């Protein structure tokens, strides 16, 4: 009898609930543990996974295989096209290795849940053990006084902090197994049948990942609230790829914070608490997609925003994607994304606001493009962020609040360090002129190798406000008709 741990977006040995439970049970019954990972390239394509994210996962699997081997646990690997093909692969392994117990950590997107239901139905003879390991506080445990899921971040945050001590806050190491290992020839983790881009900038070994986490909590987090919005500074944790892909857990992040700043939970003004706030936002968005699955189907959270008449200007959209809008802070952010697969969070807000509020292009276009590029692509966080910027989502910024890209540029990249790095064609433009270089060039009678702005921000703002206001009026009118 064998214990099989099915790994998905939890590619770690430390604080992996499914793996830990399998090992603990195996020690009691003296039976072996095996782990397995199933790649699904066609499914990834449908979900717009970035090639750089696929490369990061493939590299991590090689490292994970080594880590598991040290614990006496072999890692099986297979590739099938789609989620619907996963059941057959697990059934084959179960028959071959006499699997009795199947373990996995829950995922909350619709396709993933359908996949799990198919596996459970087809393999009902297996004893199945599922766990919450994606968030510190399990989904559906934080409810309002009326028993409803929270729709607004601030009360969710209050409930989250109040409930925190009810849950285990210590990461659990995996001690491995005592039983004799199943006789499995070590499999090579073959390159996925999927486009990949170089992710070597991001280490995938535990030593370097945990060093990065510890170093941030000990040295940088103190100034996080003051510096986190400035993209030219190395002031963020840069841990999002590891959280999104499950190389580390949120519990490990909290434990590292508490080790470095033991009293930070009592100081809401501290940098550590500010970073925790970002982790709570991550949890909020995961709780939301579990409670409101329509978000996964492409629906806006606020129904009235479905009436917005978006522009379908593909030329504008392509210019935005390529970082050629004529607005330096927007273009620098997009070029960072295209080059590295990562983007500073302040720039995610600026570029998303520009696409939706200046170009009036559907937020879904931007959401999909980000997923196709991001090394830290995570549906819940990406969808939540885009709907926040587009004012279509829960706890969104009011639709009448529209980022001015010139103001954002002056405020968060005052000396143009970040802009110059990603827009070398503007390297000779003076600091103060860098945020609106075309205006400066005209005064100097110079030709810039940089595009003119796609739109006038002030005019675009007026157009967007009219579009949102019209959508709200139309929705209210439709509701009134139904009532009457």
Between vectors from CA 324 to CA 318 and to CA 330, what angle results, nearest 5°? 100
Q: Are strands 2-7 and 127-131 parallel, antiparallel or unpaired?
A: unpaired
Instruction: Report CA Rg, the chain.
Output: 24
pLDDT at residue 1, rounded to an integer: 86
pLDDT at residue 179, rounded to an integer: 60
Looking at the predicted structure, is the pLDDT value of residue 484 above 70? no
Could you give all domains of the chain from N- to C-terminal order, each with its CATH number?
Answer: 2-133 (3.40.50.620), 134-169+206-291 (1.25.40.80), 303-476 (1.10.579.10)
Looking at the predicted structure, is the pLDDT value of residue 15 above 90? yes
pLDDT at residue 95, rounded to an integer: 95
Residues marked as catalytic = 278, 281, 310, 345, 363, 386
For residue 9, count CB atoms less than 10 angstroms from its CB and return exposed for 0-12, middle for 13-18, buried for 19 or more.
middle
Asked if residue 25 lies in contact with residue 260, where contact means CB atoms within 8 angstroms, the answer is: no
* Average pLDDT value for residue range 342-357: 98
pLDDT at residue 160, rounded to an integer: 97
Residue 398 confidence class, pLDDT cut points 50, 70, 90: confident
* Number of neighbours of residue 337 by Cβ within 10 angstroms: 24
Residue 453 confidence class, pLDDT cut points 50, 70, 90: very high
Asked if residue 189 lies in contact with residue 62, where contact means CB atoms within 8 angstroms, the answer is: yes
* Average pLDDT value for residue range 120-148: 94
Looking at the predicted structure, is the pLDDT value of residue 366 above 90? yes
* Average pLDDT value for residue range 315-338: 98
Between vectors from CA 314 to CA 311 and to CA 319, what angle results, nearest 5°? 110
Percent of the chain at pLDDT exceeding 90:
89
- The least confident of 42-46, 78-82, 441-445 is 441-445
Asked if residue 108 lies in contact with residue 134, where contact means CB atoms within 8 angstroms, the answer is: yes
Looking at the predicted structure, is the pLDDT value of residue 124 above 70? yes
pLDDT tens, residue by residue, 237-281: 999 999 999 999 999 999 999 999 999 999 999 999 999 999 999
Encoding tokens for residue 323? 């970082």
| Beta pairing partners, 54 | none
pLDDT at residue 181, rounded to an integer: 63
Percent of the chain at pLDDT exceeding 70:
99
Q: Read off φ and ψ for residue 370, nearest 5 degrees.
A: -60, -45
Residue 479 confidence class, pLDDT cut points 50, 70, 90: confident
pLDDT tens, residue by residue, 141-198: 999 999 999 999 999 999 999 999 898 888 988 877 766 666 777 778 889 999 999 9
Of 407, 416, 298, which is closest to residue 358 (Cα–Cα)? 407
pLDDT at residue 178, rounded to an integer: 64
pLDDT tens, residue by residue, 47-104: 999 999 999 999 999 999 999 999 999 999 999 999 999 999 999 999 999 999 999 9
CA distance 463 to 454: 14
Does this model's pTM top 0.75? My answer is yes
pLDDT at residue 38, rounded to an integer: 97
């Amino acid at each position: 009898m064998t214990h099989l741990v099915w790994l998905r977006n939890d590619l770690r040995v430390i604080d992996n609930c499914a793996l830990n439970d399998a090992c603990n049970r195996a020690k009691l019954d003296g039976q072996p543990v095996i782990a397995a990972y199933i790649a699904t390239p066609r499914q990834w394509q449908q979900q717009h996974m970035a090639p750089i994210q696929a490369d990061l996962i493939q590299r991590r699997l090689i490292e994970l295989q080594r880590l598991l081997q040290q614990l006496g646990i072999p890692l099986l690997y297979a590739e099938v096209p789609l989620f619907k093909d996963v059941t057959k692969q697990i059934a084959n392994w179960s028959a071959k290795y006499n699997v009795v117990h199947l373990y996995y950590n829950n995922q909350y997107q619709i396709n993933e849940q359908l996949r799990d239901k198919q596996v459970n139905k087809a393999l009902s003879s297996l004893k199945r053990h599922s766990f919450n390991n994606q968030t510190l506080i399990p989904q559906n445990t934080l409810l309002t006084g009326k028993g409803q899921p929270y729709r607004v971040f601030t009360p969710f945050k209050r409930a989250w902090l109040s409930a925190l001590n009810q849950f285990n806050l210590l990461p659990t190491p995996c001690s491995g197994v005592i039983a004799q290992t199943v006789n499995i020839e070590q499999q090579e983790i073959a390159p996925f049948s999927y486009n990949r881009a170089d992710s070597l900038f991001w280490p995938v070994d535990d030593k370097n990942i945990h060093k990065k986490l510890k170093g941030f909590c000990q040295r940088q987090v103190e100034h996080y609230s003051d510096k986190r919005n400035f993209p030219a500074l190395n002031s963020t944790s840069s841990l999002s790829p590891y959280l999104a892909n499950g190389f580390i857990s949120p519990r490990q992040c909290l434990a590292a914070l508490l080790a470095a700043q033991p009293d930070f939970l009592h100081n809401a003004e501290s940098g550590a608490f500010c970073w925790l706030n970002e982790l709570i936002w991550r949890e909020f968005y995961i709780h939301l997609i579990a409670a409101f699955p329509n978000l996964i189907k492409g629906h806006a959270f606020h129904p009235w925003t479905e009436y917005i008449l978006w522009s379908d200007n593909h030329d504008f959209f392509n210019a935005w994607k390529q970082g050629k809008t004529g607005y330096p802070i927007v273009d620098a952010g997009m070029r960072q994304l295209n080059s590295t697969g990562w983007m500073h969070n302040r720039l995610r807000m600026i570029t998303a606001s520009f696409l939706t509020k200046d170009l009036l292009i559907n937020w879904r276009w931007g959401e999909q493009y980000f997923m196709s590029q991001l090394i830290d692509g995570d549906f819940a966080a990406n969808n939540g962020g885009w709907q926040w910027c587009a004012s279509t989502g829960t706890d969104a910024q009011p639709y009448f609040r529209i980022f001015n890209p010139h103001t954002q540029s002056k405020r968060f990249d005052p000396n143009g360090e970040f802009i110059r790095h990603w827009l070398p064609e503007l390297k000779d433009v003076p600091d103060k002129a860098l945020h609106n270089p075309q205006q400066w060039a005209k005064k100097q009678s110079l030709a810039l190798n940089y595009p003119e702005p796609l739109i006038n921000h002030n005019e675009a703002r007026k157009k967007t406000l009219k579009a949102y206001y019209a959508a709200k009026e139309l929705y209210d009118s439709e509701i009134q008709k139904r009532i009457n």
